[in-house]
Copies of this chain bind each other. A is one copy, B any other.
Amino acid sequence: MKKLAKTKKIVVYDHKSPLLLESGKELSRVELAYETYGKLNQTCSNAVLIFHALSGDAHAAFYHSDKDRKPGWWDFMIGPGKPFDSNKYFIICANILGGCKGSTGPSSVNPKTGKPYGTSFPPITITDMIKPSRKLIQHLGIEKLLCIAGGSMGGMQALQWAVSYPNTIKGALFIATSPTHTAQAIAFNSVGRYAIVSDPNWQKGYYYDSPLKPLIGLKTARMIGHITYMGQLSMENKFGRKMFENVNSHIDFSKEFEVESYLQYQGDSFIKRFDPNSYLYITKAIDAFNLYNGSKTLAEALEPVQAKSLVISFTSDWLYPKEESLKIVKALKINSLDTTYCNIESPFGHDSFLIDLPKFKEAVTGFLKALET
C-alpha cells in the first residue's frame, strides 16, 4: 500500500497583517501550500522542517493517490524507517514564497487587481521566504523544531533560519549549499534568465492570459541548470558518446547524442510543471543570497546561531563545491558550536542530495538520533 499525503493550504499573511519584504514592499496576502508526514508528539518536540530547492515543492514524500507513479521529491529520505522517520518525527515541508506549486508567487492573483501579479510581484529574498514558513510553524503550535534541513537553495533557507530564528531550532542540516552563490553559479542562472526574458512569449511577464507562454526560454534555462547539477563523471558514464540517431544521413541540431535527448526530455518535463516567472524570481533570490549580510567574517554573521549542525557536501558537486561548505563549518567551529562535516563520495554532482545514497542517509539518521538525546 502506498503511503498517502495531501497538500494543505494556509493563509499566513493578509491585509490586516501583511508581509513586509526586505525590499520595503509589502504582500497583502500570502498563502502557503504544505504537507506533513508523521504525527506531532504531545510535547511538540519531534518536528522537522524541510526546505526544498529551486525546482521542488511541498510534496516532499509519499503519494497523492494510489495511481501516482512517482512519490514526493525526497521520498527516500522521509517515511517509516527512513532518515526523517515519520514514525518518530513530524515532518513539514512548504512550497516557498515566490513558487508556483500552491504558495503565493508571481502566478498568483493580486488581490488588489484581481489579476495574476506577473512581474508586478515584488522581488523576494531568502530571508523573505523563511518568514511565511515561520508563521506556518507557529500555526502548527510548534515553538521549537527538533531540526531544520535543506539542500541547495533549501540549505540557504536553513542557514538564514539558523541566523534569524536561533531559538526555534535544536539542530540544523545544511546540505550541498553555500553562504553565497559563486560568480559562476550566478552566471549560469543569469543565462537561464536571459533565455526566459528574451523569449518573445514572455511579454514582460504578463503572459498568464495569453495562449503563448515563454516555455522555450524556460526549457533552455532548465537544460543549462540540469547540466550544472550533474557530475562530470556520472554524465560521462551515463551517456559518454552514445548516439541517439544516425549522424551522417541528415543533420539534427538538437538530438544526435543521448545526452542531448535526455536534456530535451528533462526540459520538456520541467516546463509542464513550472512557471517561468517563478524561475526568474527564485533564481534571483538565490543569486542575491548573502549570508555575510554586511559582516566582515562568516563567523561574525553566524554569531546568533545556537543549533547543533551537520554540514554535508558531495565530492563531485562543482556548482556548490566543498570549499563553500567548509566556509560554513569553519565559521561555526570558530563560534564553538557543535558542528559535524561530511564530504560524501558521490559521482552525481550537485544533484547527489536528491539521490538515494546509503552514506548520505546514514549521516542524516545519526545526526537526528543524536539530537533526540
Interface residue? A175 (CB, 8 A): no
Interface residues on A, range: 35 or more
Most buried by B among A187, A251, A254, A260: A187
* Whole-angstrom distance between the Cβ of A298 and the nearest chain B Cβ: 14
Docked complex: A207-262 residues within 8 A CB-CB of B: 216, 219-220, 223-224, 227, 230, 232, 235-236, 238-241, 247-251, 253-254, 256-257, 259-260
Interchain CB contact under 8 A, A184 and B264 = no
Partner among B24, B188, B200, B239 whose Cβ is within 8 Å of the Cβ of A183? B239
* Whole-angstrom distance between the Cβ of A97 and the nearest chain B Cβ: 15
Interchain CB contact under 8 A, A251 and B284 = yes
Interchain CB contact under 8 A, A280 and B253 = yes
Q: Which of A39-47, A190-198, A299-307, A339-347 contacts B (4 or more CB under 8 A)?
A: A190-198
**Residues on the B chain within 8 Å of A186, using CB:** 239, 241, 257, 259-260
A161 to B341: give the CA distance in the assembly, Å.
50
A173 to B198: give the CA distance in the assembly, Å.
41
CB contact under 8 A between A240 and B183, given known A191-B223, A257-B190? yes
* Whole-angstrom distance between the Cβ of A185 and the nearest chain B Cβ: 9
Interface residue? A68 (CB, 8 A): no
A216 to B198: give the CA distance in the assembly, Å.
7
CB contact under 8 A between A188 and B256, given known A195-B195, A220-B194, A232-B182? no
**Residues on the B chain within 8 Å of A236, using CB:** 182-184
Interchain CB contact under 8 A, B184 and A232 = yes
Interface string of A294-329 (1 = CB under 8 A from B): 000000000000000000000000100100000000
**Residues on the B chain within 8 Å of A4, using CB:** none
Partner among B123, B183, B281, B318 whose Cβ is within 8 Å of the Cβ of A238? B183
**Residues on the B chain within 8 Å of A288, using CB:** 247, 256
A-B contact pairs, 23 of them (CB 8 A): A119-B251, A123-B251, A180-B241, A182-B235, A182-B236, A183-B235, A186-B239, A186-B241, A187-B227, A190-B257, A191-B263, A194-B219, A194-B223, A194-B253, A194-B263, A194-B264, A197-B253, A197-B254, A200-B200, A232-B321, A241-B290, A253-B280, A318-B318
Most buried by B among A188, A194, A235, A267: A194
A182 to B230: give the CA distance in the assembly, Å.
13
Residue of B nearest to A180 (CB): B241
Interchain CB contact under 8 A, A254 and B22 = no
**Residues on the B chain within 8 Å of A220, using CB:** 191, 194-195, 198, 220
**Residues on the B chain within 8 Å of A188, using CB:** 227
